[in-house]
Amino acid sequence: DAIIEQEAPATPVYENYRFDGWFSERNGGGTEFKAGETVFADDTPKKYYAKWVRQYVVTIDTNGGPQYGDPFKVDTGSKLSQPNASYT
């Protein structure tokens, strides 16, 4: 058996999504392929699918008050905590 080394592809970029790895099933299930792992070639073609997690940009609007942090990204389904109310 021959061993062929192949670099994993560069991390793909898809606007408003976070790349979450390469998987053997289209829906992000099955086996995850991690960089540096060995995949054994046989007569079955290998196909890996990118898993994407939708992200949204959150901006805190202080309604005329001082700026509260920079905009940040969150994954779909993430829970956010309300900033602590304080006066200065």
For the chain, give percent helix, strand, coil, nearest 5. Answer: 0, 25, 75
Domain assignment of residue 36, yes or no? yes
pLDDT of 87? 63
Q: Please give the tally of structural domains in the chain.
A: 1
Buried b (16+ CB within 10 A) or exposed e, 6-29: eeeeeeeeeeebeeebbbeeeebe
CA distances from 51 to 10, 13, 56, 80 (A): 14, 11, 17, 23
What integer is the mean pLDDT of 60-83? 87
Domain assignment of residue 22, yes or no? yes
Domain assignment of residue 9, yes or no? no
Q: How does DSSP classify residue 27?
A: T
Domain assignment of residue 82, yes or no? no
**pLDDT bracket for residue 88 (50, 70, 90):** low
CA 32: distance to chain centroid? 13
Quick one: which H or E segment has residue 23? strand 17-23
Domain assignment of residue 87, yes or no? no
Tokens encoding 79: 């829970």
Q: Provide the residue range defining the domain that includes 60.
A: 17-75
pTM: 0.69
Domain assignment of residue 80, yes or no? no
The predicted-structure confidence for 24-57, as pLDDT tens digits, reads as follows 999 999 999 887 777 777 777 888 899 999 999 9
